[in-house]
Amino acid sequence: MNPIAFLILSVLTISSALMVVFSKNPIYSVLWLIICFFSITGHYILLDAHFLAVVNLIVYAGAIMVLFLFVIMLLNLNKETEPHKPMILKAAAVLSGCLLMIVLAASLQGYAQQPPAIITEEFGTAKGVGKVLFTDFLLPFEVASILFITAIVGSVILGKKHVND
């Protein structure tokens, strides 16, 4: 785990995440989110999670982001139509975010340091993850198919043109 690579990636991740939240135009938010996801892919590579790195690129930066962009374009949302929230609410939002961060960060203090575990050649590759997925996690994998059929049926129900509702 290269410290310099970690630092650069982390700065990129956090600054692009901030830009996602604070950009005025939703299109910019999506573009920043893509950069954020790319930097997270970098983190996965640093963490020897090669399979996840690829899946993250394909699923998140590929499919999910295209879906977001597609909907924004379809609904013509690329204008700054968002009405302003009162300043006090915005301040409260930022404040509670900071508080949460402080609480989380404080709870991380003093967690026992440990060096990275020694790993096998297979760790994090499609082979290694696949073996775990299809042995220990076979049942949730199968059950997740119900989740997908639900999502597919649901999207069709909600998205199709109204006939006589």
Least Å from the CB of residue 46 to other proteins: 8
From first CA to last CA, the distance across the chain in angstroms is 57
Q: In terms of residues, how long is the chain?
A: 165
| Spatial distance between the Cα atoms of 66 and 83, rounded to a whole number of angstroms | 26
Least Å from the CB of residue 24 to other proteins: 10
Asked if 80 and 25 count as a contact pair (C-beta separation under 8 A), the reply is yes
Q: Give CA 19 to chain center in angstroms.
A: 15
Least Å from the CB of residue 79 to other proteins: 11
Least Å from the CB of residue 75 to other proteins: 5
Asked if 38 and 17 count as a contact pair (C-beta separation under 8 A), the reply is no
